[in-house]
Structures are given as C-alpha cells and as structure tokens.
Amino acid sequence: MKHVIVITGTPAVGKTTVARRLANLSKAEYINANDVIKKEKLFSGRSRDGALVVKLGRLKASLERRISKSKKDVVILDGHILCEIGIRNATAIVLREHLGTIEGRMRKRGYPQIKIDDNVVSEATDYCGIRSAKHYRNVYEVLSGSSAERRILAIAKGRKGPKESIEMLGELNSYLKKNKGPLR
C-alpha cells in the first residue's frame, strides 16, 4: 500500500521547501498541486484578488490518478489548496508558522498588504487545520523549522506520536498593534 503524505498550510509557511526536501530524502514522488492546476488548466478564472478559482473535483481526480500511477511507495503532495479536498488514504500534515515569519516572507515576495493580512488571519485561526480535519482521517500539525522534516518523516514511517495543536491566535494581537489597528 502506498503512503500518501499531503503537506498543506497557509501560503508562506514553508510547504514546498519542506516537501521537496522530504521527497529527496525519502526517494518519494513529489507532486505540487499548484503546478498540476496550472499545467492541466484546472481553474475557471480568477477571483477579485487575483487568486485562481480551482476546479476542486477535477484537481482531486487528477492527483489521485497521479498517485495510483506512481511507481514509488511514498508520494508527497504539497499545496495550500489540499486542505480543501480529501485525497484518499492520505495523511495530512498542516505545516504551521509564526505570523511574523509569514508576514516577512510574503513581503519579500511582493504580496499586497491585504493578501498578507488575509493569510496571517488564516494562519492565526488555523484555517488549514480546521479544513483538513474535515477532509482527512489523519491530520497532524507541525511547526515549520529545523525539526519539521524529522517529525514528518517519523509520521510517514508510522511513528506518529502524539497529535498536537499549535496555537497562533495569541500572536494576532501583536500583529494588529504592529500594523496599526484592525485589518483592512
């Protein structure tokens, strides 16, 4: 039976970096959901903020086809959107990050303030964790950083350990004060 690991989380938590490293370390197949969406044109347009409006059912079908065709025993999928669809028999890893780190990474990438604010609030309220719990049987939250890869590899190998809930909501007040008040 294939081991399928879904790495999801708010934009700028480090999903792609961690997923690629893990795939290399474990000789797993790596699939980036955003690449599949663009390559197969699995979107119907763009939202007001410029984000792609993804055809979730078609994305899920495409990813599950790719998983079943894979010759590898372990398949690692990565993408923010994966918290919105349940990939059959997958374990979901919700990568978490401190709000200030997300803000800094998004600024460096040139995101507008409103998009930064949206993603900071999503991380603070654990949007991806809540959505993943709805779509996956096994969900683990892992704090991004130096021990994240070790923790995810242990989960992938069946040494799951205790499930933890990572709280970022407490950081939102500091973020609001630093950014001079309520979000736009």
Count of the separate structural domains present in the chain: 1
83 part of a folded domain: yes
- What pLDDT, on a 0 to 100 scale, did the predictor assign at position 47? 87
42 part of a folded domain: yes
**DSSP assignments along the chain, one per residue:** --EEEEEE-STTSSHHHHHHHHHHHHT-EEEEHHHHHHHTT-EEEE-TTS-EEE-HHHHHHHHHHHHHH--SSEEEEE-GGGGGS--TTEEEEEEE--HHHHHHHHHHTT--HHHHHHHHHHHHTTHHHHHHHHH-SEEEEEESSTTHHHHHHHHHTT----------GGGHHHHHHHTTSS--
184 part of a folded domain: no
- pTM value is 0.92
- What pLDDT, on a 0 to 100 scale, did the predictor assign at position 156? 79
170 part of a folded domain: yes
* Residue 19, token pair as written in the block: 């997923």
What's the chain's average pLDDT? 91
160 part of a folded domain: yes
Kindly list the distances between the CA atom of residue 55 and the CA atoms of 76, 162, 178, in Å, as whole numbers in the listed order. Answer: 21, 34, 37
- What pLDDT, on a 0 to 100 scale, did the predictor assign at position 90? 96
Mark residue 14 as left, alpha or beta (left: phi above 0; alpha: psi -120 to 50; beta: remaining). left
Confidence band, pLDDT 50/70/90 cuts, at residue 180: low
Residue 177 burial by Cβ neighbours in a 10 Å radius (0-12, 13-18, 19+): exposed
> CATH number of the domain that 64 lies in?
3.40.50.300
Its domain, for residue 89, covers 3-178
- pLDDT tens across 118-174, in order? 999 999 999 999 999 999 999 999 999 878 888 888 887 777 666 777 888 888 888
- What pLDDT, on a 0 to 100 scale, did the predictor assign at position 161? 67
Specify the pairing of strand 43-46 against strand 52-54.
Answer: antiparallel
183 part of a folded domain: no
145 part of a folded domain: yes
Confidence band, pLDDT 50/70/90 cuts, at residue 5: very high
- What pLDDT, on a 0 to 100 scale, did the predictor assign at position 82? 98
CA nearest 183: which of 106, 134, 116, 96?
Answer: 116
13 part of a folded domain: yes
* Residue 168, token pair as written in the block: 């970022």
- pLDDT tens across 76-108, in order? 999 999 999 999 999 999 999 999 999 999 999
